[in-house]
Amino acid sequence: MNIDWAAFTPLSALLGGALIGAAAALLMLFNGRIAGISGLVGRLLTPQAGNGEALLFVLGLLLAPWIYLAVAGEISVQVEAGPLALIVGGLLVGFGSRLGSGCTSGHGVCGLSRLSPRSLVATLSFMGAGFVTVFVLRHLLGV
Amino acid sequence: MRGLIALASGLLFGFGLLISGMANPAKVLGFLDLAGAWDPSLALVMAGAIGVAFLPMQWIQRRGTTLRGEQAQLPASRTIDRRLVLGSLLFGAGWGVAGFCPGPALVAASALIPQALLLVAAMLLGMWLFALYDRRVKA
């Protein structure tokens, strides 16, 4: 394995991760809800009770880059994927995360913290699929 | 109160994604590319998040109620089935194709990054297709 030390940002990764964990803890401690993005967004597509809270969470998420931009001056989002990859990737992420009942936040952060066997299986599955997909695209197909 | 907590949690979550680098697909793909120049940062994002969330989650899971005395809404299903595994595999493949998972995609789309807007449109379509599929399967 060849570690890219120049790209490695341990402090901001830990700090940002801690904030994500704090956000998940806050929502569980006071509202008793799992901070799972795919679940909260997915439920908004069907009118149902409890959607107001989900909407406010998503609103907070959408406000974050604007406040961050005002304070830090710039945000770093580099996208190499072309239109086809973005459409295919988006469809798979949307359909797959709903079929699997969660994504990186719901299964990865909340589920693993709850020591949920389902979330462990889900996390290993999506991480594995992510590793394999990038290997195939970058190293076998050379995209 | 519930609404305020939800808003604050969403904000904190978004700041965490931006500060950690999770909102940057180039960094996400650098982590998923084990055979290339590997950037281990995202492992530390997970470690930091679980490190902070672990005790509060365990605590509420054990007491079953929130600090305000309401019933906590914890996932009831315990079965590891084909939906869970197949869905997670599809999600992971999509994550590897573009480098966006749902939270970072929404954050980047809100910042009006054109590629993220396209991906979020496709993601919402995917979620909507799932809702149609799910209704048919359960009918």
Render pLDDT for B17-65 as a digit per residue (tens, 0 to 9). 999 999 999 999 999 999 999 999 999 999 999 999 999 999 999 999 9
Render pLDDT for B58-67 as a digit per residue (tens, 0 to 9). 999 999 999 9
Residues of A in Cβ contact (< 8 Å) with B137: none
What pLDDT score does A128 carry?
98
What pLDDT score does A39 carry?
95
What pLDDT score does A68 carry?
97
Whether B110 sits inside 8 A of A65 (CB atoms) is yes
Q: Is B132 on the interface with A (CB under 8 A)?
A: no
Whether B101 sits inside 8 A of A115 (CB atoms) is no
Q: Where are the beta strands (DSSP E) in chain A?
A: 2-3
Render pLDDT for B74-119 as a digit per residue (tens, 0 to 9). 998 889 999 999 999 999 999 999 999 999 999 999 999 999 999 9
Q: Which residues of chain B from 58 to 117 reach within 8 Å of chain A, CB to CB?
A: 58-61, 65-68, 70-75, 77-80, 83-103, 105-108, 110-111, 113, 115-116
Residues of B in Cβ contact (< 8 Å) with A43: none
From the list A16, A35, A89, the residue facing B21 with the nearest CB is A16
Interface test with B, best of A20, A58, A107 (most B CBs within 10 A): A20
Render pLDDT for A12-22 as a digit per residue (tens, 0 to 9). 999 999 999 99
Q: Which residues of chain A from 80 to 119 reach within 8 Å of chain B, CB to CB?
A: 80-81, 83, 85-105, 107-118
> pLDDT-derived band of residue B139, with 50, 70 and 90 as boundaries?
confident
Residues of A in Cβ contact (< 8 Å) with B40: 3, 8
Whether B96 sits inside 8 A of A18 (CB atoms) is no
What pLDDT score does A132 carry?
98
Interface test with B, best of A2, A45, A46, A93 (most B CBs within 10 A): A93
Name every residue whose Cβ is closer than 8 Å to that of residue B83 and which is 6 or more positions away in sequence. Answer: A99, A100, A101
Question: How distant is the Cα of B138 from the closest Cα of chain A, in angstroms?
Answer: 13
What pLDDT score does A142 carry?
85
Q: Is A3 helix (H, G, I), strand (E, B) or coil?
A: strand
The low-confidence residues of chain A, meaning pLDDT below 70, are none
**Which residue bears the tokens 């940057």?**
B24
What pLDDT score does B39 carry?
96
Whether B80 sits inside 8 A of A118 (CB atoms) is yes
